[in-house]
Amino acid sequence: MLPKLFFAYFAVVIVGTSILVITRKNPIHSVLWMLVLFVHIAALYLFLNAEFLAAIQIIIYAGAILVLFLFVIMLLNLKREEMEKRFQKQWPLGVFAGMVFIVFLVLILSQIVVFPQLGPYSIQAIQSEGNLMTVGKVLYTEYLLPFEITSVILLVAIIGAVVLAKRKVN
Amino acid sequence: MTILEIGITFIKVFILVTIVLLHVAYATYCERKVIGHMQARLGPMHVGPHGLLQPIADFVKLFFKEDIIPSNADKPVFFIAPVIGVIAALSSLAVIPLWETFSIANLNIGILYILALSSLGAYSIILAGWASNSKYAFLGGLRASAQVISYEIAIGLSLVGVMMLAGSANLVDIVNAQSMYPFILVQPIAFFVFIMSAIAETNRAPFDLPEAESELVAGYFTEYSGMRFGLFFMAEYVAMFIMSAIATICFLGGWKGPDFWVFSYVPQIVWFLIKVYALIFFYFWIRATLPRYRYDQLMGLGWKLFIPLALANIVITGLVKLF
């Protein structure tokens, strides 16, 4: 009962803050509600016994990406945005599309069958070895190639940023 | 978890927070005394014998001062900014093991938890700067957040070497892995990078650009007064204690001391406190000794020296562990 109650709290807050994020006039307030949202998502990861993911969620999303959002918002002059209407004319259409998507999602989720036997990474197996160790081992053995490809893509992005930022020296 | 365990945890939290806040109060006194004597002054002398009651007088003054809010400030954000800072700093205390069997939460991801909370602490600075609606506060906030974010990378990378040696991110396991020798002997580069980045991360001299008095009045908390100003002060000092505790745990062997003669009878908490106090003294010492950096020098130091050094340290540690 208690876990369900906690989950209900987190689910309601996540949905509520998501709506607040898109309806605030001031972009800084939007970012702040998003921070609340990210912290609650991290708490959901803790419920799933994924403490490593929870920590990473806070460090990367709340600690780095959102701060960059704040920077960009502060450096742009957004006075005009605050005066304008929040939503475009098409918003009823958007709500309709969202509703259709939710119906599909519910239909799909109700079809999910939990397999009789779970994979090697059951909760007990992960807890005996530690979350960090399990993720590390899987990442560097089974999923080495995708992991390296991701690193290369990030490296390309870094080099691209440097090239764009660098002035030409004559 | 029974009701009893929850109750015991609450009592532990209460005691720990009280002790740390007393430490914060007397760290300000100690700082003024130490810097005073280093500069051939006496420091606070008037309230109580040798000024010993000065922190209490300061607290009373801050508490009863008028709470001034700038007219165009964004009030909710202005109110919440110092609270975020204090909560982020105080919650980091939860994972710090004071001795072998005492820590409020013994997490497997202890180091990551500390890093996550210190990255949340950056919000208090950036939001305080923005919400005050003042030029000085805004510039101070932007400077501070850029500085904190860059030095967080160096801190995280310098701790990776320690995690590799200990094979764990659990703070208790890290101390237990140092029973033969403290990690400062095998990770001197990481220790240097960590200590310097910790000073920058807590916005202390010589890296106190965010609150450079001569340029920005007081930086991000220029517009704050009374107890809200006090909260920023508190967050900064608690962060200093946490950084010192992490340095003690990860590099200086935590609660372990020499194990011979009378030394083996000294309780573990005493060793831990001696090391933390020494590092806090180092903070004061460096503040009294070095002039402030220029901002571009500070960012250059972080990105061009500390981060490459920490990366090289990881590679070397990995190679040594491999062979």
Query: How do the domains of chain A map onto residue ranges?
Result: 1-84, 125-170
Tens of pLDDT along chain B (323 residues)?
678 888 888 888 898 889 888 888 888 888 888 888 888 888 788 887 887 888 888 888 888 887 777 787 778 888 888 898 899 889 888 888 888 777 888 888 888 888 888 888 888 888 888 888 777 888 888 887 788 888 888 898 898 888 888 888 888 888 888 888 888 888 888 899 999 888 888 878 787 776 666 666 777 777 777 788 888 888 889 989 999 999 998 888 878 877 777 777 778 888 888 889 999 999 889 888 888 888 888 888 888 888 999 999 999 988 888 88
Phi (first) and psi of residue A84, to 5 degrees: -70, 165
Q: Is residue B244 part of a domain?
A: yes
Query: What angle (nearest 5°) sits at the alpha carbon of residue B76, between those of residues B70 and B81?
Result: 85
Query: Is the ipTM above a cut-off of 0.85?
Result: no
pLDDT for position B43: 79
Which residues does residue B102 pair with via DSSP β-bridges, in sequence order? B99
What is the span of the domain harbouring residue B270?
69-322
Q: How many domains does chain B have?
A: 1
- B44 near B32, Cβ under 8 Å? yes
- B308 near B221, Cβ under 8 Å? no
Chain B partners of A136 at a C-beta cutoff of 8 Å?
none
Chain B CB within 8 Å of residue A155 CB: no
Per the document, the length of chain A is 170
Of A29, A51, A63, the CB nearest to B108: A51
- Give the global pTM: 0.85
Chain B CB within 8 Å of residue A131 CB: yes
Of A28, A62, A67, the CB nearest to B149: A67
* Residue from A33, A34, A46, A70 to probe the interface with B (highest B Cβ count within 10 Å): A70
Alpha helices in chain A (DSSP H): 2-23, 27-47, 51-56, 66-75, 79-83, 91-110, 123-129, 131-140, 144-165
Size of the A and B interface in Cβ pairs below 8 Å? 62
Which residues does residue B99 pair with via DSSP β-bridges, in sequence order? B102
Chain B CB within 8 Å of residue A59 CB: yes
Chain B partners of A155 at a C-beta cutoff of 8 Å?
none
How near does any CA of chain A get to the CA of B207, in Å? 21
Q: Is residue B192 part of a domain?
A: yes
A1-84: what CATH class? mainly alpha
pLDDT for position A87: 66
Other CB atoms within a 10 A radius of the CB of residue A6 amount to 14
